[in-house]
Amino acid sequence: MQISLESPAQPDVIQLIDDLDAYQKPLYPPESHHGIDIAALSAPNVLFAVARDHEGKAVGCGAIVVGPEFGELKRMFVRPENRGQGIAARVLDFLESEAAAKGCTTFMLETGPRQPEAIALYARSGYLPRGPFGSYGPDPFSVFMQKARA
């Protein structure tokens, strides 16, 4: 397994994002979808990581949008057939380390209550529940979490 910062504008990575959208769209109403597109993922302040298997196939991804006060985790996804191998935790740790190297020590995220596996991953990684942040408002389909990394 190799994890590295890559451009999201690659066909296999675009497919990962499309698969993530296909997974999430039936779970939540449209107004509760907060994913960002390939153009936003390509911005200079975004760290986008791709996990590739031993054959070079993209099996997971994630991003941190680094802002002046915190980094926001976005677009975390591991292909269903590759889950249970610790890939998401490794991508999360990689992204946090890369963002910390740029001076970012507070991480926030928004996920949904119908994704208990994601919530459990974040809790195991030290994220704690919090209220809405940034431009988010209260939403019964949103779970907000935060982590401070020394």
DSSP string of 63-86?
EEEE-SS-EEEEEEEE-GGGTTSS
Measured from the Cβ of residue 14, the count of other Cβ atoms closer than 10 Å reads 14
**Nearest-angstrom CA–CA distance, 136 and 34:** 9
Contact 59, 4 (CB under 8 A): no
pLDDT in tens, 18-50: 999 999 999 998 888 898 999 999 999 999 999
Q: What is the pTM of this model?
A: 0.94
pLDDT in tens, 107-139: 999 999 999 999 999 999 999 999 999 999 999
Domain covering 2-148 in this structure, CATH number:
3.40.630.30
